[in-house]
Chains A and B, each alone.
Chain A
Amino acid sequence: MQIKTMAEYFANGETPEILFWVGCAGSFDQRAQKITKAFATILDKVGVRFAILGKEESCTGDPARRAGNEFIFQMMAQNNIAVLNGYEVKKIVTACPHCFNTLRNEYPELGGHYEVIHHATYLQQLIDDGKIRMQESGSFKGRKITYHDSCYLGRANNIYEAPRKVLEALDAELVEMKRCKSNGLCCGAGGAQMFKEEEKGTTRINFERGREAVDTGASVIAANCPFCMTMLTDGVKEQGKEDNVQVLDIAEMIAQQMV
């Protein structure tokens, strides 16, 4: 596989169909890199001409803004917009709901207007268009899967159905947690909490969510966010269930099962 950067496309006078915005977690976090690779594999298999920004990509500024540091946010945002506009980017797909939300909702008023799609929606489109086809008897067939709504895809942007539709393609048994969709419980990482200790409480948010997910009896917890991935994995470990319950991104599940 040959993953090309925007700069490489540009140098050849070509334009890719989409820009795959990888995000910091997807680039640097070892676990999240697997999601990135899985999504890149899917794009490659279905023959989408995609580019990454590579070393030209920067943090969108999401955690800085939510922690209260608008200066750092503006620096990142304005630099990113300059790069994206420089390449005349039209369509962006990302596997991180935080990047998705910031690029989609917060960049336009700073001059960055793009069609921004989260990979859950994009995968659903590819499945609907028949571009992704699944193996007849995949390894998820009939298994109990529970889906964790990330706050930034769900409540923040009202996307609840796309990831569930993607999971339906796996022919698995989808079981819902008590708190799901617009009632979903946060993994505990949003609002820059990922980057600091939690305040003192009776338990950790991800422990609470991990317990709730494990209680469904599902053997797979499906996530759509690299931060939820980290938090839920820890939550499952706290329940001592890491050998029986996997936490997987929907892109990983599709990549594993597609023909």
Chain B
Amino acid sequence: MHIIQELLFVIAFGIAVYLFYRKARQIRQNILLGRDVSLNDDPAARWKNVLLLAFGQKKMFRNPLVAVLHFFVYAGFLIINVEILEIILDGILGKHRLFAPLLGSLYPVLIGCFEILAALVTIGCAIFLVRRNIVKVKRLNQHELDGWPRSDANYILVTEIVLMLLFLTMNTADQALQLRGHEHYINTGTFWVSGYFVPLFSGLSDGALIGIERGCWWLHILGILAFLNYLPYSKHLHIILAFPNAYYADLRPKGKVENMPAVQKEVQLMLQPELAAAEAPAADIPKFGAKDVPDLTWKNVLDAYSCTECGRCTAACPANITGKKLSPRKIMMDTRDRAEEIGLQIAKSGSFTEDGKTLLRDYITEEELRACTSCNACVQECPVSINPLHIILQLRRHLVMEESSAPQEWNMMFSNIENNMAPWKMSPDDRDKWAVEMNG
């Protein structure tokens, strides 16, 4: 009988891990659709970002109340993994509370801490559900969340609550059995939260209690394995990708726009034609800017997969605040959706061929791109170091340099800069007029 349970567990566990691995590999491929960029300089600063932003949740604390609740859920997730380790080992080895004899009196303390965290996670998730669905916090109820993103958020919160309640119920039944001196349920001492609920189960038979304990154990671990496989399809993937994304965050000042060496070279040759003789002609004409996901960098795509759609970027975006169509969150969601679409096509047909669609226009419109003031509020706000501005600027480059698509006023600005060395139609000779006036 026992061996069947262990076998079933190993099979379930194996399938879950395999499925997760397969999807994770696909996401990795999708991220690598982006063009290469080297982000390995200054590892010390990068690890500092991982510690402060990902582990320390530094930016979350720009909003302290939400940050505390999020911290409970996050700490619960991290620490409860230790408890899951015991569950997995128990499952494989057919043991019950494998760590209890090893840890002795420390064991109930550990479980007690997990229980407190489980209770805090439950409360945190419940408050988050209220904020999303009853209080209707603005950034959590904007248009780009209509449909799947909104349900996704609710599924995650409800699942987390259910998983935590299963864990607490399992412990309650376990303790009730311990108190009755059931041989299989070794005495571990009182658990801190579930201990209070033991009297609720006083009327139940041993068999019923074992049923509840085993039922909750299986549902809890199967739920976790299912959740693991839900992650890669969900915005909740940030619990994994926030860490690498913080590592690869841009370390340069936010105001710096990415250089384009190809254009730099071309202009250099134009200004100093004498250099051209020594120069081998370029092999192929480079693409200017980005039209679709493969034109972006892999960091841009990693950003998209790390986005949990919290909307702090959009809530701080001056264009969005004043009712324009631009939403930095939507830029990230669109990039991810398009990367998934391309990835799916590659999985089906082996390679990416034109499918008549592009990130630009089919997902992100010119109107959205034009509304950006490059103020960096979205970049500043993102708790996991996502940079929507970088994507916006690359798409703008494509529009202007590949399609010559710019508002008339911008075209005038360009020609003024080119001809008069200033964005306005002013005579370059008047540039120091103010100084002449002061010199008297």
Contacts and interface: CB of A to CB of B under 8 A. Distances in A.
Given A79-B271, A151-B373, 14 more contacts: A22-B434, A28-B422, A37-B437, A57-B421, A67-B406, A69-B401, A70-B288, A78-B268, A155-B254, A156-B255, A182-B380, A186-B377, A195-B410, A201-B371
Identify the 3 closest CB pairs spanning chains A and B, nearest first.
A156-B255, A202-B323, A191-B374
A183 to B, nearest CB: 7
B133 to A, nearest CB: 25
Interface stretch (B28-36, B176-184, B412-420): B412-420
A208 B322 contact: yes
Nearest to B418: A72
Given A75-B271, A76-B417, A197-B409, A37 B438 contact: yes
A74 B367 contact: no
Given A54-B432, A156-B254, A205-B319, A24 B289 contact: no
Interface residues of A, number: 76
Contacts of A151: 373-377
Nearest to B256: A105
B44 interface: no
A85 B421 CA distance: 18
A58 B419 CA distance: 10
A63 B415 CA distance: 12
Interface of A: 1-3, 5, 22, 24, 26-29, 33, 36-37, 40-41, 52, 54-55, 57-59, 61, 63-72, 74-76, 78-79, 82, 101, 104-106, 109-110, 151-152, 155-158, 182-186, 188-205, 207-209
A199 B377 contact: no
Interface in B366-390: 367, 370-377, 379-380
Contacts of A29: 424
A201 B434 contact: no
Contacts of B257: 65-66, 106
Contacts of B379: 155
A3 to B, nearest CB: 4
A67 B371 CA distance: 11
B253 interface: yes
Nearest to A202: B323
Given A36-B434, A105-B252, A157-B255, A208 B410 contact: no
Contacts of A26: 434
B418 A52 contact: no
A206 to B, nearest CB: 9
Contact of B380 (A37, A66, A155): A155
